[in-house]
Structure 1
């Protein structure tokens, strides 16, 4: 009888050990780059041509294509990617908390951000520019004097133009770039300013195709990088290799043409890893 009790107890211990081992194995698979589980990636949800959640719940845009390609090189299939909305103000915290593995969301590399996160890339060189109507005679910043210029509340883009190039322009700040684009279409404003990649993404939408053009001013250099948790050099190295592969196999150019082509976006050549244009 005593032997039976010992045997039963042993069986319970063995069963518990197997359960713990199984749980540990599941956790390892879920976080490994072999694709055993899922990977969370930070993107924007509201930027057409870059990161946009469509009405059916799917996602599109250049950043989405870049993120999908990177995840593939890390061992994940498209259906194993969970895209997480990552707003500009929360990007550093999202990486520090481990909410996402990496972020591809018009994330410009600068010295202040590099203190908090590591950056792979850059993978796109964008510039501050103006979006105007196709028949507009605005071709330089000074042409905005006496005209209405739109950007979003809190953006420095329009303020920079207003202060340095066209002090007599009328600055209008709206809640989002979609509102600025609608105002441009209606004639309420004469130009919209932010990164040319963002402007091109909006202009490439079906409802706006052929209506707008970029002025091509190149008012700033915005080096978009892939944000990674500070100190995660293993992931950083893998992403840099993935970006290099994306360029060499033609996938990068294909993604640029698909997402920005309808706006006649004259993109810069694919930047080299670690090449930051000041």
Structure 2
């Protein structure tokens, strides 16, 4: 009788151990394609207001953040299971190849060159190169920038494209950050700032700038923002595409656009269809 009690207790402990092992989940933090792990790592920008911004309190905000959070939930992860990882433009392909993140939502334009290295879900936003000017500015076309001062960041091709294709007499001013360009635009040191309209809208929507700037509404290029996934991970691409379609159909996409870009009076394009790349 005593032996049977010990054996029963041991069996119970053994069964409990098996249950714990089965329910323990994967704590590797890679956000496996089946979803529901302990954590999922997602790549975003940390320094783009309205898109991907790390707040002073450590929280994150922006359209890309909202899209990624929605997608993660559809993959089986709640907001508190997301680990945000800063992925700068130059390191996005490497971060995916190394497995540092499960996917990247960071103003990541889909291009033929990039598709050689990563797979893309989406697109989830069609942006365009545009100009940001002071409210009431008489600059309404790119050609109006002749003999005007145009600001962009060092390394960006946006300002060079304007000078080459539209306003050869534009005076280029290149600085380290878009925030510096905004300060120069506010003070009158420059007449316009150029990059993607989504990025411009995000900066202009900040509390300290509300009502001070406006987008010219030009479409100087097409930028199809996609969600980057490790090359060959077709399962995750398909799941993200399904999540994006649901986000559009239940109006969450529209709400995210308004929440993040609305104060800048951003005239966004309708939500693009999955796989529809506008050249």
- Alignment match, 1:202: 203
Counterpart-to-counterpart distance in 2, 1:146 and 1:23: 69
CA contact (8 A) 2:27 2:39 kept: no
Q: Within 5 Å, which residues of 2 pair with 1:1-278?
A: 22=21, 26-27=25-26, 31-32=31-32, 33-278=34-279
Q: Which whole-Å deviations, capped at 9, do the CAs of 1:102-151 have from their partners, x for residues lacking one?
A: 00000000000000000000000000000000021000011101110000
Is the contact made by 1:131 and 1:193 (CA closer than 8 Å) also made in structure 2? yes
Residue 27 (structure 1) shift: 3.0
Q: Distance in 1 between matches of 2:275 and 2:78?
A: 27
Residues 29 and 100 of structure 1: CA distance in aligned 2, closer, same or farther (over 3 Å): closer
Contiguous gaps of at least 5 residues in structure 2: 1-9
Once residues 144 and 130 of structure 2 are traced to their aligned partners in structure 1, the CA distance between those partners, rounded to angstroms, is 13
Q: Aligned partners of 2:85 and 2:221: how far apart in 1?
A: 28
- Contact 1:44–1:85 (Cα < 8 Å) also in 2: yes
- Count matched residues: 263
1:164 positional shift: 1.4
Change beyond 3 A, Cα 1:56–1:27: same
SS, match of residue 130 in structure 2: strand
In structure 2, distance between residues paired with 1:66 and 1:156: 27
TM norm structure 2: 0.90
Q: Distance in 2 between matches of 1:26 and 1:139?
A: 56
The Cα of 1:23 is off from its aligned counterpart by: 9.8
Query: Structure 1 residue 35: deviation in Å?
Result: 2.1
Give the SS at the match of 1:207. Answer: helix
Contact (CA 8 Å) 1:50, 1:259: kept in 2 or not?
yes
- Structure 1 residue 28, shift from structure 2 partner: 7.0
Tell whether the 8 Å contact from 2:26 to 2:37 is kept in structure 1 after alignment.
no
Q: Is the 8 A contact 1:29 1:35 kept in 2?
A: no
Once residues 127 and 35 of structure 2 are traced to their aligned partners in structure 1, the CA distance between those partners, rounded to angstroms, is 33
Deviations 1:12-47 (A, max 9, x none): xxx9xx79x949954378544442300000000000
Q: Distance in 1 between matches of 2:28 and 2:151?
A: 48
TM-score in terms of structure 1 length: 0.91
Q: Is the 8 A contact 1:148 1:191 kept in 2?
A: yes
- Taking the aligned partners of 1:27 and 1:173, their CA distance within structure 2 comes to 47
Task: Give the SS at the match of 1:253.
Answer: helix
